[in-house]
Amino acid sequence: MSRDEGGLNALNAWCCRGQGLNSDRLHKHSPSSISRVGVDLAKHVFQIHAVNHQESVMLTKSMSPEKFFDWCRDLPLQCVVAMESCSGAHHVARRLTAIGLRPRIIAAHHVSPYRSAGARAKNDANDAAAICEASSRPHLPACLSRPPPNKAYCCCIACAKATKRREPP
């Protein structure tokens, strides 16, 4: 076993202690048993926190965006995939809707009260867990997913603005 594998297994065991979780079970999950996923979005890595119907943690993992979308294809239809609102959340929500999942975009100020250790322990894993927990609350409002921008409309607006700048007063 390499040093990295031993460190990862030790980290999983440490994270799972006190929660009654077996660290091996975190990576030997059945995607069909997952009912809700919290995702912390970043440019190159998505942190995932998935739970089943009994609120047991099924998976905590980070992966690239493309691997994440491939993994989402194995999730049951209508599974809730929650994410914090950010610049790329609407794009991700559109891709998840195309797969048949139910994306839920939650404002950041609604997620922060569910972070387990407060602002001191802000990291991707805690954020993903807080997003997953916040998505289980039915009273929290979710942001509406925006449609993709209409490129023809944007070009017309840009052209009109450029023409207006060139006209002499």
Q: Per residue in 121-158, pLDDT tens?
A: 788 889 999 999 999 988 888 887 777 766 555 566 66
pLDDT digits (tens, 9 = 90+) for 89-118: 999 999 999 999 999 999 988 988 888 776
- Sign of the Cα torsion 37, 43, 45, 47 reads negative
Mean pLDDT throughout 52-73? 92
Is the pLDDT reported for residue 22 higher than 60?
no
Residue 129 DSSP SS3: helix
In single-letter form, the type of residue at position 41 comes to L
- Using DSSP bridges, classify how beta strands 102-106 and 80-84 pair: parallel, antiparallel or unpaired: parallel
Phi and psi torsions of 55, nearest 5°: 65, 20
User: What is the pLDDT at residue 51?
Assistant: 93
How does residue 6 score in pLDDT terms, banded at 50, 70 and 90?
very low
pTM of the model: 0.68
Identify the bridge partners of residue 81 per DSSP, sorted by sequence position.
37, 103
Task: For residue 77, give the DSSP letter.
Answer: T
Is the pLDDT reported for residue 162 higher than 80?
no
More confident residue, 162 or 91: 91
Identify the bridge partners of residue 63 per DSSP, sorted by sequence position.
46
User: Which domains are seen in the chain, by residue range?
Assistant: 29-166 (3.30.420.140)
Mean pLDDT throughout 73-91? 91
Is the pLDDT reported for residue 73 higher than 80?
yes
DSSP 101-128: -EEEEE-HHHHGGG-TTGGGG--HHHHH
